[in-house]
Each structure stands twice: as structure tokens, then as C-alpha cells.
Structure 1
Amino acid sequence: MTYAATPVTPETRSGTVIVAVLRLAITVLVTAAVIATVAEAAGRTAINPFNMFGYFTIQSNIILAVIYAVIAVVALRGEAASPALNIARASVTTYIIIVGVVYATLLAPLGAAGGVPVAWANTALHIITPIFALADWILFSDRARIAFNRLWIVLIYPIVWVVVVLVRGATDGWVPYPFLHPDTGYASVFFYVGLIVVVMLAFGSLVFWISGKRSVLRIP
């Protein structure tokens, strides 16, 4: 299904600017939250940046911030997002939704141990960005329908992340999450790797399905 282009009027142009500003605000929020998290850790101990930035939550939020900044600039220039940028947005939306779901169901019940030590940064990275990303994808019309035969693209980043984690776990022993540690046995590790793939495909399918639906708010 293809929708007709929205005529550019002062009202729709205003909507484009507002949405761009909201996305830039999320970019600023993520940047501040990551900096605050790094600063807090550095105040307690010497930090290894490969460990600090090895968490899926941190990486996904940084990717989200970058994608939103690019999309906002493109929109403010009066241009449409390219197909590649549209798929990148869909992919990072998938990742950040999973971050929110995993936090809400598995990590939040653990209290401080399940999140970022800086309370407001934890809220920003685990709650605000997932909710905003899902709402952004549902509400705003500056997205294009994505064919399901491109769903494999969503797996590229998570697979690279998992491979790096497994290599590090087998060499220097560091993993961001205990269930991926080789000491638990590779049968268990690969079970969770398979589960990650299934979850990514499930949420990616949801995001791709939404891309074909009529948005709530029409902007160019």
C-alpha cells in the first residue's frame, strides 16, 4: 500500500520542525545520560572503554541518538529520508524497544543492580528512549513501508555484537551479561544467542508491519 504525498503547507512544515526538535532532544538526552554514566563510573574506578561501551543498552541508545540526529537534519533541510536511513531507523527502533522490554520484565525488579547507577540516566536509557522510539515510529508519517524480505538487515548489528561478546568472553573473560559467559557452558550460551535472534526477528517483524500502516500524524 502506498500513500499519497502530503502537501507541504505551513502547518505540515511546522509539524516537521516540531518532530525534528523532539528527535534532537532525545539525541541530547542520550548524550547527557551516557556522559553522566561514564563520569559516575570513572569517579569510582578506572574504566575500560571497551567494557563501558560494550553493553547493548549503551550501544543501542548511541545508535538511536545518531540516527535521530541525521533524520532531524535531513527533515529540517526539507529532504526525505533515504530508504537506507528508513531501514536504519526501523532497525534501531527494534533494538531500543527490546531494551525497554527486557529492562521492564527482567532488570527493573532487580533495583539498582539491574540498571545504570545514575537514576535519571537509567530512566532515560531504559524507559524514555524505548517509549519515545515506539511512539515516534507509530505516530509520524515520515517513514516508508519496508518489505519483510529485508528483515534480515535487523540482525546485522546484533550478530556482530554477539560475535564480539563471545570472542571477548573466550579470551579476556569479559561479557556484559552473565548468561553469555562461556563458564555457563556453550550449550547455554548458544541457546541465548538463538533466543536473541528469535526476539530480534519477532520485534523487527512488528516494526516492519507498523511501517505499512497509516500513521497517526501526517508530516512531509
Structure 2
Amino acid sequence: MDTQPSHARYSSVWPGLRLVTAVLISAAIVAQLSRTIETAAASQTPHGSHLPTVVGNFFSYFTIQSNVAAAVALVVGSLWAWRRGNTPEPRWLTVLLACTSTYMIVTGLVYNLLLRGVVLPHGTTVPWSNEVLHVVGPLIMLADLLWSPGRRVLPWRAIGVVLVFPILWVLYTLARANLVTSPMSSAPWWYPYPFLDPHVVPSGYTGVAGYITGIAVVICAVAAFVVWVGRRESPRVDRVRHR
């Protein structure tokens, strides 16, 4: 007869689910990177076949960076849980998971609200990988946020930590854009997403600023939601200390 408490079984299964998710996300990234390199190898233009630029562009997408971070966080979280059992997560791990959960949820929202209908050249994307990176991964990270055991409560000021990476990513993207020739169009600029490209967005940089502001509001709202979820459940650690 199984005498192990249900909450203990739940705590022991969750690290495995995290690890499986990390493997799935990693496989999706590798599959799409392989397709991207294949497309570059078949390109008839010097810009399209310039592998360092193509690979650099690939890892410049917020989606890819978010998924890489999520895979790392899930692996670290799994190893910690298996090593420490029911010990509450250290603060740094909870912050890492809060950050990656926010970025993945935002990735899912932005893709499905703004980019789902964007038509890309046939054969440049791996359909199943695209869904894992933009839908499955974000949903699983949301589930991890809501139900993973052992997560500590964070103070509201943790929202500021979550916002650091998106700010740096926008600065990096806008600074790099005019230093890169587009592999596909040979235009003397390259933006990872059309809503950041002042050459296609109505009103140019003003329109881009509007999109950035709107997405910044979404990121702040999601970050606040992530912190709130951790604070709302009384069983989680350090509730009184961080009111």
C-alpha cells in the first residue's frame, strides 16, 4: 500500500515535468535553428548566406532568448528540487523563474495577438517548433507559476528585476538594427519583429514607440501578476516578511 502523502508525490513529480519541458523547448530551438541554417545555406545572396549574421539574428529574437532562459531555469529548478526535496526554493531561483515566466507569457501574448497572422516565406519555419516556442512553452510556464511547489514569496520590488532584461533587449535591438543587412531582403537594416521596424510601421519611430510602450505596459502587468500569484497563496514561504 502506498503510504507516501499526495503532496510529497506531487513535489517529486514536478521536477520531472520541468525537465521534460526543458528538453522539449531545447528540441524546438535546435529544430528551428537547423532550419534557419539550411535556409541560409540555400540562399543565393551573400547576405542571406552569411551564417554569422543569420545565427546572430536567430538568437536576437526575444522569443528565442526567452525560451533559452526558460529551459535553463527549468533545468536548474529540477536539479534543485531533486537535490533538496521539499526545501523551499532559494530566493535567486524564485526570481529566475519569475523572470522567465514573465518573458514566456509575454512571448505567447505578443505572438498570438500581433504576429500570428504574419506570413513568412514557405519552409523557413518548423511548424511544431513554432507552436512549442510560442504556445506550449508559455502555457507550461504559466502552469509552473500557478502550481509548482516550494516557490518562495517575492516582494513587489522584484518587478523591477524582471523589467531589466526587456529594457536591455529593446536597447540592443534598436542599436543593432541599422548595423545589420537583412539576409532576406538585403535592406540595410534588420528588425526581429515588424512592429519594431520604423520602415513598415505607420508614423515610423513614433509608431514603434507606441508599440514599445504598449508592450512595456503588458510586461509590467504580467510581472505584477507573476509576483501576485506567488503572494496570494498562504502556504508559500515568507509571506509575512514581504508584505
TM class by smaller structure: 0.7 to 0.9
1:195 aligned onto 2:214: yes
Structure 1 residue 215: Cα displacement: 8.0
CA–CA separation in structure 1 for the residues paired with 2:144 and 2:233: 13
Structure 1 stretches lacking a partner, 5+ long: 1-8
CA–CA separation in structure 1 for the residues paired with 2:117 and 2:33: 23
**SS state of the match for residue 109, structure 1?**
coil
Question: What is the 5 A alignment of 1:1-220?
Answer: 11-45=6-40, 46=49, 47=51, 48-78=54-84, 79-110=87-118, 117-172=125-180, 173-183=189-199, 184=201, 185-214=204-233
Between the two proteins, the alignment pairs up a number of residues equal to 207
**Higher helix content, 1 or 2:** 1
Structure 1 residue 71: Cα displacement: 0.7
CA–CA separation in structure 2 for the residues paired with 1:77 and 1:110: 44
Structure number with greater CO (CA < 8 Å, separation at least 6) is 1
**TM-score normalised per structure 1:** 0.85
The CA deviation string for residues 16-70 of structure 1, in whole angstroms up to 9 with x for no partner, is: 2210010000110011101100111111213421101111111101100000100
For 2:220, the aligned partner's letter is L
Structure 1 residue 213: Cα displacement: 1.9
Preserved CA contact (<8 Å) 1:97 1:130: yes
> Structure 1 pair 216/175, CA: closer, same or farther in 2 (3 Å)?
farther
Structure 1 residue 112: Cα displacement: 5.7
Preserved CA contact (<8 Å) 2:159 2:220: yes
For 1:33, the aligned partner's letter is A
CA–CA separation in structure 2 for the residues paired with 1:119 and 1:128: 12
For 2:55, the aligned partner's letter is P
Structure 2 stretches lacking a partner, 5+ long: 41-48, 181-188, 237-243
For 1:131, the aligned partner's letter is L
For 2:179, the aligned partner's letter is T
Structure 1 residue 80: Cα displacement: 3.4
Structure 1 residue 163: Cα displacement: 0.7
Preserved CA contact (<8 Å) 1:170 1:182: no
- Identity rate of aligned residues, in percent? 33
**TM-score normalised per structure 2:** 0.78
CA–CA separation in structure 1 for the residues paired with 2:153 and 2:219: 19
> Structure 1 pair 148/32, CA: closer, same or farther in 2 (3 Å)?
same
Preserved CA contact (<8 Å) 2:18 2:74: yes
**Greater shift after overlay, 75-84 or 10-19?**
10-19
